[in-house]
Every structure is written in structure tokens, then in C-alpha cells.
Amino acid sequence: MSARIAPTLRSMPLRLTLALVALFALVFLVTFSATYAISRNAIERSLNDSLVQEMAGFRAAPSAAALAALVRSQSTVTFPERKILSYLTPDGLIAGNAALLAEGEGFRVVVLDKARNPDAAAIDGEYYTLSERLQGGLMTIALSAAPIARLHETFVRVLIFALLPATAIALGAGLLLAGRSARRLAEIEATLDRLTAGDLAARVPALRGRADELSRIGARIDRMAVAQEQQMSALRRVSADIAHDLKTPLQRVVVLLNRLRETRGLPAAAGDLAEQTSAEAERIVAIFQALLQIAQIEGGSPRARFVEVDLGLLGATFAEVYAPTAEEAGGALHFTPPEGQITVEGDKTLLGQVIANLVENALRHTPPGTPVTLAVTREGGRAVLSVADAGPGIPEAERGNVLRRLYRLESSRTTQGSGLGLSLVAVIADLHGAELTLADNGPGLRVTLRFPPPRSARSSAPSDRST
């Protein structure tokens, strides 16, 4: 699960979604805060205006007694929880519904009418107050700040029930869209990987959903792959046709040169020249034969002949065949047999050619007196074929180049060979799904082919799904 989620979390659509959600939340909070500040200021102005109007009404009283009577009259219909009226007369008496007693940095509200508020000797809360000396006494009016508190509660509820669900919904939708885009990008990347690996038949799967930029990119990749496949197919056909058309005339040249060599009375110099020319012609024929074989293998036709091949037995057979050749060259060919039978699915003839090419290549570049090792082993259920020598090896920077057709190292240009041996090995390895690696043998070169498990072994392997 985490392996599928990780690409989504790193995807550009999700990052864009997060950025948009963050921008939306920021704009919402700024607008929300501005609206709250404006609403609070409006309520505060309304409370202050009410205080001024109330005080103006009490200011019209002609005397302290009249003012106290007016305060007592309005106090009977006014609850101190909403509005406090308190008049401290010149005689030190308090008229109103509550008394304001100084306490710390604020006031303590004490209810005077216990009959109306038997359980409320003191009132807690915030008030907006206005005090003024009238008729020799102190008149105080206080309006409850409850509207401000209700406004605050309302905005908090709006914030919780509007912003948070909207953000959660946006994030959820972003995850869904990002997951969909990540899957489509993964399909495009997988197709590009196959095309890069040489599988020109790879195509981007039909992308689900509406056509968008990814759909257009997928379509253009498919058109590019079709064009490359057609060009490569045409190139291979031309190469195969050239090789096929020239093979027969070259073989005739070889036959004629052989007849020339056997002609009686031919000068020795002419005979040597005919022999050298014949050898070169045979080498050219071998090159065209190898090119034709590579073209046939790349066509995939040998797969129809795939059977289970005992790779250990095949390796032992070729080790026995090439052992005398190694001894004549002053070296030795050592074969490491496997423990038990190791089989692979493939074409026995082509696999034998792989072993022959690798062994011949190793013997050709191995100094006299040094061994060549041929081994068939098993690694984690996979058959492994390796050939190692103690020759000059191949520089790491050149190991990819030597798999190209007709490519030869500068140090090998004076030795026999066509530059197609390792190319043919690479093509046959790819046909069999084998992983081909060239590594340093310290000194020398180690060529390793790791084959996939046979189909019978894969089908008989226990399933990792719970039943």
C-alpha cells in the first residue's frame, strides 16, 4: 500500500492541490478575519452610540432627586445582565439595578434588586460603560458585551463547519485526482522505459477519463513509437536483404578462390595470396551469416522452438568440445558443474552458440598458461551461466559499446573476430529474457547471464496471497 501511495504523495498534482488548498484557506482566513473585525467594530459603535443616547436622556433630569427617581423607574424594567443603571447620589446612596464596586483593574457588579435576582448577588461578564457626573452625583451606564461574545461564537462555528469541511473535501478530491494522474504518469513512464529498453512495440495503455495533456502526451508517444518501429523494421529488412543478397555471391567467391588455390602450376606467391583472400572472404561470409542470424533472432521466430534445456549438461558438452582447443593454446578450460539439474526455457542451438561464442572469445584473449572458467550455477531459483578469463578485460566505459554490432576495441583490432560475437550473445540473451552483465574478473573479464526461472517452476511456486 505504501509503495502505491508514495508516488502519489510526491506527485505534482497533489502538490498543486495542497498549494491551492493552502491559498484558499489563507484567503478565507484573511476575508473571515476582516469580516469579523468589521462586524465587531459595528457592534461596538452601536453599543457606544446607545450609551451616549442613554446618558443624554438622564442628563435632562432637573435635580439629583429627579435623576435618582428616573434611574429607579427604568431599573424596574431593566435586567442587570443586559444593562446596568447606577447613580451614586450626592448623599452617597445608590439608585439603580446594580452597584459597581472597584475591584482590581475592573469592577464587580453587585445586584441591588434581590427580589428579581435572588440567586445573582454578583454578575460576571464584560460590559461597555460610560460614566458622567450629573447633578452632583456619578451616573454610570453599562451595556453587556454579550453581542460581541455571540458574534465570536458565531464566527467560530462558521470557521469550524465551513473552512474545515471545505478543506477536507478539497484535500480528498486532490488526493483522488493526484492518484489518478500518478497512475497515468506511471503507465506513460513504464511505456517509455520499455521503449528505452528496445521494445518498440510498447504502447501507452488507453488512459481512462477525459482527454487532457497526459492523453495527448500518450498519443504522441505512441505515434513516435510507431514511427521508430517502422524505421527500425525497414532498417532491419534492408540489412537482412543486403546480407542475404551478398551471402551467395561471397560464397561463390570463396569456392572460386579454393579452386584457384588447387590449380596446378600456380606460382607460390599467387597461391598464398589466394589463400589469404579466401580466408578474408570466409570471414566476410561469417559476418553476413551472423547479421542474418541476429535479424532472425530479433524477429522472435526462435521462441516457437523453446523447450526446457538442461543448461548444466549443455555446458559440460561444450567444455568437453573446447578443452582440447584450450590445451593446444597452452591454457586450460575448467568447467564447474552445477549441483543437480538446472533447466531453462530456450532454444538449445542458440544457447549452445552463446557458450561457444563466450568460450572462443575468452580463449582468444587469454594469455598462454592462464585458465578459462565455465560455470553453471543457481542463484535464488535462477540459472546462471558465467565465463571468466584472465585476459586484458574490457574497460568499464566500453562494456556497453562492445555489445554493439561490429564494434571492436582498439586493442582487439589486430586479433581475429568480427565484432559480432558479444552482439549475438546480447541478442540471444534478450530473446531468452536473460540479464547479461560484463564485470571485472580481477584480472580479466567475467560474462554472466542470469536466466528467469522456467515456467514450470514459476507456476509451482507457492502463492503469497492468503486464502
**Residue with C-alpha cell 464596586?**
101
How many domains are there within the chain? 4
Residue 37's pLDDT is what? Answer: 92
Residues with Cβ within 8 Å of residue 12, at least 6 apart in sequence: 181
pLDDT at 43 over 70: yes
Query: Burial, 287: exposed, middle or buried (Cβ in 10 Å; 0-12, 13-18, 19+)?
Result: buried
Q: Is the pLDDT of residue 360 over 70?
A: yes
Ranked by mean pLDDT, the top range of 29-43, 236-250, 266-280 is 29-43
- What lies within 8 Å, CB to CB, of 60 at 6+ separation is none
pLDDT at 45: 92
Q: Mean pLDDT lowest for which of 177-186, 218-227, 456-465?
A: 456-465
Q: Which burial class, exposed, middle or buried, applies to 178 when counting CB atoms under 10 A from its CB (0-12, 13-18, 19+)?
A: buried
Are the CB atoms for 305 and 347 separated by under 8 Å?
yes
310 with 439, same domain?
yes
pLDDT at res. 161: 82
Cα–chain center distance at 158: 39
Residue 250: CB atoms within 10 A of its CB come to: 18
- What CA–CA distance (Å, rounded) separates 444 from 48? 97
In a domain, 51, yes or no: no
Poorest-pLDDT segment among 7-21, 70-84, 133-147, 426-440: 7-21
246 and 274 together in one domain: yes
Residue 232's CATH number: 1.10.287.130
Place of cell 495542497: 18
Domain-embedded: residue 432: yes
Helices (H), ranges, 262-341: 268-298, 311-328
Domain range for 249 is 213-298
290 pLDDT above the threshold of 60: yes
What's the helix, strand, coil split of the chain in %, to 5?
55, 15, 25
What is residue 466's predicted lDDT score, i.e. its pLDDT? 39
**Average model confidence (pLDDT) across the chain:** 77
Least confident of 8-22, 136-150, 318-332, 421-435: 8-22
Taking residues 22-38, what's their average pLDDT?
A: 87
Is 127 a domain residue?
A: yes
Res 248 pLDDT > 60: yes
- 134-143, 272-281, 356-365: least confident range: 272-281
Q: What percentage of the chain has pLDDT greater than the value 90?
A: 3
Retrieve residue 67's grid coordinates.
435623576
Domain shared by 292 and 317, yes or no:
no
Based on the fold, state whether residues 243 and 324 are members of the same structural domain. no
| 315 inside domain | yes
The distance between the two most distant Cα atoms of the chain, rounded to a whole number of Å, is 161
pLDDT category, 42, cuts 50, 70, 90? very high
More confident: 109 or 72: 72
Percent of the residues in the chain that have a pLDDT greater than 70, as a whole number: 72
Antiparallel, parallel or unpaired: β 332-336 and 371-379? parallel
Quote the CA–CA distance of 65 and 71 in Å, as a whole number: 10
Do 322 and 429 lie in one domain? The reply is yes
Position 210 confidence tier, pLDDT thresholds 50, 70, 90: low
Q: CA 35, CA 27: separation in Å to the nearest integer?
A: 12
β-bridge pairing 127-134 and 137-144: antiparallel
d(CA 395, CA 438): 10
Q: Are residues 250 and 346 in the same domain?
A: no
Do residues 177 and 235 both lie within one domain?
Answer: no
